[in-house]
Structure 1
Amino acid sequence: MTEAMNGQEYILFATKLAREAGKIALEGRKEKIVSYQFKSSHKDLVTEIDRQVERFIVAKIKETYPSHGILGEEGTNIDGGGNSSYRWVIDPIDGTTNFIHQGINFCVSIALYQGGEGVAGVVYDPSRDELFSGERGKGAFLNGSPIGFTGEKKMDESLIGTNLIWVGRTRRLKLEESIYRLANVSRGVRSLGAAALELAYVAAGRLDAYLGLYLSPWDYGAGKLIVEEAGGKVSNFDGDSLSLISEKQGLLASHPSIHGDLLQFLKRE
């Protein structure tokens, strides 16, 4: 296959790949006790299944698109060959802690970018068999049915997803008071523990916004595109575009009606 393929063919490839990867994850999760290792801390976990799924995804991409670059959470960082500007951004299992403890609320995230612009992205929840997808200029979908934002939204009727509650840097960045105030002026705050899945939920209207701190490109690569194709807004905490180069960024994705209000909440003195 060549780089001249259109976005729909990339979506079909990513969809098939995510479903196959999800099946591997589910097979690996059949054991009630999943062995794991620590990465940066006791809260940052990785299993052999994470690594197995990433190896599988990387091998399939290299086989099909040998000139494309690949960036993965579990250490994959392959530059594109020749003059290729395409790069796959993958998280083999987003929500590893949920995967270990619950067996639900985790997902496979696969996105393709050309330069800094998303081409195709999928977030697959194998435990519920839900596949969220977005293709540049073609919209967002859940299991093939269109999803998107409709009407206006107000803060007092919005349900907000976030990881700010438990990320230590929230206090150091003086965001702790903001998140407490946000809980009071919104309908409620939730923390699922899987950024890619929470972004997909924003696109599907299950959440009205997601605020994430200390996120890497593989956390939001696919979800960002899906939210944008659904008609939502995605930015960093200052309202600027996100970078696929920088790690550990703050991210705000939301219904377009409340994005400005949320940015105000995030302003630091």
Structure 2
Amino acid sequence: MTDQSDKLFTARLADLVSLCERDGTYEFSSFLDERQCADAEQWCKTNTGSLRYRLWGGYENARRRMLAVYPDYCEEYVEGDYPFVCLTFTYRREDKLTHRDFLGTFMGMQLRREVIGDIVVGEGIAQAFVTEVAAKLITTTVSKIGRVGVKITDSKAFELEDAQKFMDISGTVASLRLDCTVGLAAHLSREKAAVLIRSEKVDVNHHTVSSVSHELKEGDVLSVRGCGRFILSGINGSTKKGRIHINLRKYI
């Protein structure tokens, strides 16, 4: 984010807190992307006072989530009151649709990105979290995604959490520096990995990192522009020569 967009974002968060304090009930943001979620959580830790907050996108590992700010007596009800619904799209299994197909259709309807949460695509079925207003528009106007006919319902529970697939990558690195790990993840020399990092084409936990010597830890999420997205899923001891065994999972 730019400095100006950072200020606007934190101003919106402050507005949620002010409204919650004034009205004594929960307030919700729009859908936030992963970087915004990380920034919101950091901001809320020191700026919500006695209020509580939660980021939720409909299932445990959702990438796009809404922020709820609420008094503690609202806690047991807040999950059920998030202003979004899960839409389920069914179609013939032989018709292959992608996340891009669904997002393209929604954006072609002039829906803003912040009203759309995660879209998870399986075989013959896809599920999308969207705001209640967007859901009404989609269910009444959409009969096709691309050229594929679909049926839509808002009455099915989310069931595609395990649809995300990964490719496992393992190897050894000289250290847990960012340039070493990016080199293994993207099959690049350490020097080429360093060029990507210095060119601000690598994110760690959804924030751009330009230092090649940045130290990683287990669980960190890496995004390498043009190469993909990875989780540092394991750090498994050292070789006799002092190199470190690591495991990565690449989103596919």
Normalising by structure 1, we get a TM-score of 0.29
TM-score normalised over the length of structure 2: 0.30
Structure with a larger share of its residues in strand: 2
